[in-house]
Amino acid sequence: MSSSTASAGTPHPAIETGLTDVFERCRTQTQGKVATYIPELATMPPEQFGLALATIDGKLSTRGDADSEFTIQSVSKAFSYCLALELLGRDEVLRHVGVEPSGDAFNAIIFDPRTERPFNPMVNAGAITICALIYRELKDDALEFVLDRFSKAAGRRLRISDPVYRSECVTGHRNRAIGHLLLTVGAAREPIEPALDLYFKQCSILVNATDLARMGATLANIGQNPFTQESVFDVAAVRDTLSVMFTCGMYDYSGNWAVDVGIPAKSGVGGGVVGVVNRQLGIGTFSPRLDDKGNSVRGLKAFQELADEFGLHAFECTNYGSEFMRSLA
Ligand code: GLU
């Protein structure tokens, strides 16, 4: 594992020191297990650990394996939700997918009993519905639309891991079952296979922790990539996306996360976590060992420590967070 690295712009020395301290404290954490239910994910080296922080004024600081690629998995759900809001409008998306935390596992086969719709777009049922909506609008252009916008948010052209995509296609029976159930309640329409295919492909997009930090910074910068200045996401869609990330982004740990960390975030079983400190910065972490909810163990600890170290909790009572940005100036 490489140690301290990289910066574009000159982050404040206090930030650099704080980041190094957090990284060192977290790297000793070796609990958790790499995901195996998608067989290809089991091949990930468990020791990897990357940390990246990107500010809305275009500064970047990274530690460890911040350039190592892994599949984005459920982190994609936040960004594709944002795109669906832009494409179809809030009302139409809300007619198909709610915004309530479910309190259930990400792959639970359960819908909101009142609406018969998926609880929210951060669980598989909701994310597959979002893919069905994007496919309904764009048909064969849907994948390129998703890949292009994700790439613009990351600031480089992203690609799909074919082995992970194939592995997920072959073993994704539960997601197929969810897809077919969505048809029975009218949340999605035929044909469901292309929607599932889009879902599997979007989960198989390769990113690194630096990409996640830049993608997070693009959301923090209300849709404009602060490194390329390109407009990537619709402003109103960003607001709704961050709200749902805050309440539903960390699996059935989201309530605890909101209290302990207080940063809108989304994690994935590939070991990535993206976090967004609104109007300040994006944070990306990568470490493949997961806890029993599916969250990266080191990722959780890193976010917790960063929130404490830099005062990043949304409701930080000292409002130390704004000091953070000032100190970078
Ligand atoms: N592609 C994974 C699945 O559907 C995503 C799960 C996750 O990262 O939460 O099972």
Provide the pLDDT for residue 19.
94
Provide the pLDDT for residue 203.
98
* Tens-digit pLDDT profile for residues 192-249: 999 999 999 999 999 999 999 999 999 999 999 999 999 999 999 999 999 999 999 9
Active site residues: 74, 77, 199, 251, 269
**C-alpha–C-alpha distance, residues 320 and 225, integer Å:** 25
Distances (CA, A) of 120 to 81, 186, 202, 226, 249: 10, 16, 18, 29, 10
Of 7-11, 20-24, 291-295, the poorest mean pLDDT is in 7-11
Of 66-70, 148-152, 309-313, the poorest mean pLDDT is in 309-313
**C-alpha–C-alpha distance, residues 13 and 175, integer Å:** 46
* Tens-digit pLDDT profile for residues 143-192: 999 999 999 999 999 999 999 999 999 999 999 999 999 999 999 999 99
> Ligand 1 pocket test: which of 41, 79, 165, 168 has the largest number of ligand atoms within 8 Å of its C-beta?
168
Residue 173's Cβ-side half-sphere holds a number of Cα atoms within 13 Å equal to: 2
Whole-prediction pTM value?
A: 0.94
Asked whether this chain's domains 13-73+205-326 and 76-203 adopt the same fold, the reply is yes
* Tens-digit pLDDT profile for residues 85-137: 999 999 999 999 999 998 888 888 889 989 989 999 999 999 999 999 999 99
Residue 329 above 60 pLDDT?
Answer: no
Which conformational region is residue 120 in: left (phi greater than 0), alpha (psi within -120 to 50 degrees), or beta?
Answer: beta
Residue whose CA lies nearest to ligand 1 atom number 2: 73
**C-alpha–C-alpha distance, residues 115 and 106, integer Å:** 19
SS3 content of the chain, % helix, strand, coil (to 5): 50, 15, 35
Provide the pLDDT for residue 280.
93
Residues 6+ apart with CB under 8 A from 56: 217, 220, 221, 226, 279, 280, 281, 325
Please count the other Cβ atoms lying within 10 Å of the Cβ belonging to residue 166.
14
Residue 320 above 60 pLDDT?
Answer: no
Map out the domains of the chain as residue ranges: 13-73+205-326, 76-203
Q: Could you tell me the distance, in angstroms and rounded to a whole number, from the CA of residue 200 to the centre of ligand 1?
A: 9
For domain 13-73+205-326, which CATH number applies: 3.40.50.300, 3.40.50.10140, 3.40.50.1820, 3.40.710.10? 3.40.710.10
Fold exhibited by the domain 76-203: Beta-lactamase (3.40.710)
> Ligand 1 pocket test: which of 34, 174, 269 has the largest number of ligand atoms within 8 Å of its C-beta?
269
**C-alpha–C-alpha distance, residues 62 and 76, integer Å:** 21
Q: Which of 285, 282, 263 is nearest to 272 (CA)?
A: 285
Cβ < 6 A, ligand 1 pocket: 73-74, 106-107, 124, 168, 175, 203, 268-269, 294
Whether the CB-CB separation of 286 and 267 falls below 8 Å is answered with no
